[in-house]
Chains A and B, each alone.
Chain A
Amino acid sequence: MLAEVLLAALILLVTFAFIVTRRLRAAVSAYAAQSWLLGSLAIALFADARVVGLLLFGILTIVVKGIVVPRVLRRRTAMAMAGRRETAYYVRFPTALLIGGALTLTGFIAATKIPYPHQLLPGSVLGIALAVLLLGLFTATARRDAILQVAGLLAAENGLLLAGLVLAPRLSLLVEFAIVMDVLIAVLVMGFLVARMHEEVSSTDTSELTRLRG
């Protein structure tokens, strides 16, 4: 189990990159790394527990979320990079760090309150999963850049899948397949809208989109 816990800790560490980075490319790389770690964790878990679904889940995660999705996002960033390099927050940077820390703590505390039936992974991994979920949602709502918002949502989803490995590792393969497919569609639609945004306001800074009020 040590390998799995170590991989989970690395996932959390990589997720902090979303909070501190000022560059789009770094965020996409962080997402790719996060997906690789999650996929590896599932495969390691398969090696311990021999649940075939986990192996397929791990491979799917690495292929779709570790390779395909980052490639799509990188293509979008290449276009956006021409416009802007700095990627700002809606809140001030030190505040963002503080909120990030608080959310991580919240995730760990919340995990101890959930009376879930123990499966394969220890409870500390659930804490990591919830922290990753919250950090991802925070990135999605507090960052100004559209691509970072997408990356934040995708990171949050990885956190959820990690929570899924803790809470329900034997939930059937089709379920995970559906979830991974969903990410694929998400990136296509979001990629399309990001491209539209670039065409409309020639950047992916969502603070340019504030005409609708009331």
Chain B
Amino acid sequence: MINSALLLVLIAVPLLTTVATALVRSDRLRYRLVLPSALVTMALALTLIARVLSMGSIRALGDWLYLDDLSGVVLLVVVIVSALAGAYSIAYFRSEEQGHVLKPGELRKYFVLFHLFTFTMVVVSVSGNLALLWTAVTATTFASAPLVDFYGSREPLEAAWKFLILAVAGELIALLGFLLLYASGIAALGSAYNFSIPVLGGAGSQLTPALAGLGFLLVLVGFGTKAGLAPMHTWLPDAHSQAPAPVCAMLSGAELNCAMLAIVRVLALATPSQGGHAGELHGALLGFGILSMAVGVVFLISQRNVKRLLAYSSVEQMGLIAAGFGVGAPLAVVGALLQMLTHSLAKSLMFFNSGNLLLRFRTTTLAEIRAVAGVAPVTAILVILGALALAGAPPFGLFVSEFSIVRGALGGPNWGVGAVIAALLLLGFIALVAPFSRITFGESAGERPQRPRTDLGAAVLAPGFTLLIAVLILGFWVPGPLHALLIGASRVISR
């Protein structure tokens, strides 16, 4: 009872914040609403996750809302990323206000959409009814597309439009998948049943195999578009490079995982009915995963812009996560789940860095940024350590999660898959670290324009440092409750 109430409060807080942000008169009050709302949402989320760990999954409103270990992982990612992106947004726009001109009303639009975006992603993580899950994933597109267009010139508009058209086309394909999934339950559950995760999960192996399998494949292709899987990823580098830096963190760190949650959830529901053919569903996921990794790595090499580089790294990383789930061995699945968390921490850190570089150097073009270490030493520490963390260097958290994905894949019947993943990760490492070390330590070839040695303020650096410390700690030590959550979530998938 109290659990259901908490679940309702959890989604009410960001929604009410959205309304309040739209209604209050001054931008100062709008700034002040961000952190309290984020902290309350985070506290509620952590409480609920703790309760899931001790009491099992939580259901509310006739299964319209549902939280288990698997959705708990994504909920955790969403609340952490949106809280830090909120904190960074405030610092970023305050610094930007001095140099850049924000038109009146722009901050209102930004924060209304920001909270709405958070709300839709929280709803994705706690959706119990599969139609609600689809609707919520779709709603994240509509909340985030105007944010991509925030800077309001031609390139952001082009990016937002491409994102909108391709994401919606993908969502429609996914909807057909959900309809087939519903039809797959009719034989066992009757023609009118509650289309929810626990009900379909309960029917398990009685679903019509062909329909459930086809449903999964359509959801994979459809939501794979939104999760940035190749070859449907073409919108991602544009959208994730044109948005303001804190929004990029939300897009890459949280939204992609929301789409991945939906894919994995349907995989978990469809697999039990497949019998000996379950491997084919996993194989499809693995195939998209490896392809995305390859495409991501190849495009990493030729990028000239910090944010586009990071966007292609997201394609690679989502590919890795998909591959981890596709391998299906418990170790790889736990690794993929941990990777969702560690990647979103490191990627948010790097997008905050891209914002910092923009604030300091007025550009995100790699060739125009040089000698960050000399000009802004503290910023440089965040840039280079963040790049190493994101690339998966030890002792950072991504090393642990990537290592367990690779080990899980090597231990399986197809050890070649593990070798391919490891090779792509190594190439990705080089392609990512090289440009960042160049801008940090490299001297410009010609006459060096003398830049005064000043660092950015503590407010813009603090969110990044928080993330860096978190991702460093995860490299040494995965806290007990988090470990339990990951194990619980992996059992949901490979039941």
Contacts and interface: CB of A to CB of B under 8 A. Distances in A.
Decide whether A and B are members of one complex.
Answer: yes
Contacts of A114: 180, 210-211, 214
B146 A146 contact: no
A178 B182 contact: no
Contacts of A167: 179-180, 182-183
A119 interface: yes
Contacts of B172: 133, 136-137, 153, 156-157, 160
12 contacts: A114-B210, A115-B208, A117-B191, A133-B176, A153-B165, A153-B169, A156-B169, A157-B172, A157-B175, A185-B139, A212-B238, A214-B299
A197 B238 contact: no
B158 A210 contact: yes
A91 B237 CA distance: 25
B155 interface: yes
Interface in A158-190: 160, 163-164, 167-172, 174-175, 178-179, 181-182, 185-186, 189-190
Contacts of B211: 114-116
6 A-B pairs with least C-beta separation: A170-B192, A209-B158, A175-B131, A178-B135, A167-B183, A168-B182
A92 interface: no
Measured as residues with beta carbon below 8 angstroms from the partner, the interface class of chain B is 35 or more
Contacts of B139: 182, 185
Q: Which of A156, A209, A211, A212 has the most CB of B within 10 A?
A: A212
A35 B131 CA distance: 21
B161 A197 contact: yes
A171 B161 contact: no
Interface residues of A, number: 46
B440 interface: no
A206 interface: yes
Contacts of A87: none
Contacts of B478: none
Contact of A193 (B164, B169, B308): B164
B168 interface: yes
Given A178-B131, A189-B145, A193-B157, 12 more contacts: A114-B214, A137-B173, A141-B169, A167-B183, A186-B168, A189-B164, A190-B164, A196-B157, A197-B157, A212-B155, A212-B158, A214-B308
A200 B157 contact: yes
Interface in B154-190: 154-155, 157-162, 164-165, 168-169, 172-173, 175-176, 179-180, 182-183, 186-187
Contacts of B242: 212
A135 interface: no
